[in-house]
Amino acid sequence: MLRYSSKIIKYIYQLAAVKISWLMTYFKFSINGVKFNSDFVAHGVPIVNVNLKGQFSIGKKFTTHSGKHFNMIGRQQPCYFIVGNGGRLTIGNNVGISCTAIVCWSAITIEDNVRIGGGVVIYDTDFHSLDIHERLAEPEVTANIATRPVTVKRNAFIGAHSVILKGVTIGYNSVIGAGSVVTRSVPDNQIWAGNPARLIRNL
């Protein structure tokens, strides 16, 4: 009887957590000026920070998993959606992501039906200058920090804990193996993995 009661309590708790997550995510999207549809699913609450001169739009049927209770595969964290001054982050329809950090200073586009595994990071910037003098200056010189757009094309799947770096395009239907560091573009219909990522086979 006690075991049955605990299952009921857990079920009610999970329902409440999902509803609260949705409401808090709705609020965060709204105050950051995100263009989104109300049919999204939020398990856990993401971190959202959109610069006043940045743009962030999300298509229909978006699903996000944030934190240890909703994606139990290790290295749990909230999803991060960070859009800098002049950045443009675009997420298409039917996209699902888990505990993913996306930092957009230029342009990041995630097309329809993309799946992104837990702990993935996507950056379109180097964050710091590669010039030692600019990097160590007080204050740091930021004018020459490199940025290049990132695109994840339709139906692609990025495995857990992968890193997608600036200037990369992931092709249609392509798969990135878990733990990969992707430094160059991946053609359509291929599996890539490794550090740096390389072709494993065609699909």
pLDDT digits (tens, 9 = 90+) for 83-117: 999 999 999 999 999 999 999 999 999 999 999 99
C-alpha 159/C-alpha 96 separation (Å) is 12
Class of 2-202 in CATH = mainly beta
Catalytic residue among 65, 69, 128, 133: 128
Q: What integer is the mean pLDDT of 114-140?
A: 94
Q: CA nearest 102: which of 81, 119, 117?
A: 81
Pairing of the two strands 197-202 and 175-176: unpaired
What secondary structure does DSSP assign to 76-92, as a single string? ----EEEE-TT-EEEE-
Q: Enumerate residues 6+ apart whose C-beta is below 8 A from 177.
A: 159, 162, 191, 192, 193, 194, 197, 200
- The owner of tokens 């695109």 is 151
pLDDT in the model for residue 100:
95
For 5, phi then psi, to 5°, come to: -65, -40
Cis peptide before 196 (omega within 30 of 0): yes
- The owner of tokens 């799947």 is 157
- Angle at alpha carbon of residue 106, lines to 100 and 110, rounded to 5°: 45
Residue 158: pLDDT band by 50, 70, 90 thresholds? very high
128 assigned to active site: yes
pLDDT for residue 12 is more than 70: no
pTM for this predicted structure: 0.90
Neighbour tally for 23: CB within 10 Å? 12
Residue 18: pLDDT band by 50, 70, 90 thresholds? confident
pLDDT in the model for residue 142:
87
C-alpha 121/C-alpha 123 separation (Å) is 7
Q: What integer is the mean pLDDT of 34-52?
A: 95
The sign one gets for the Cα dihedral 123, 129, 132, 134 is negative
pLDDT in the model for residue 19:
83
pLDDT for residue 1 is more than 60: no
Q: CA nearest 92: which of 146, 153, 47, 48?
A: 153
pLDDT for residue 49 is more than 70: yes
The sign one gets for the Cα dihedral 81, 82, 83, 88 is negative
Domain boundaries, the chain: 2-202
- How big is the chain, counted in residues? 203
Residue 149: pLDDT band by 50, 70, 90 thresholds? very high
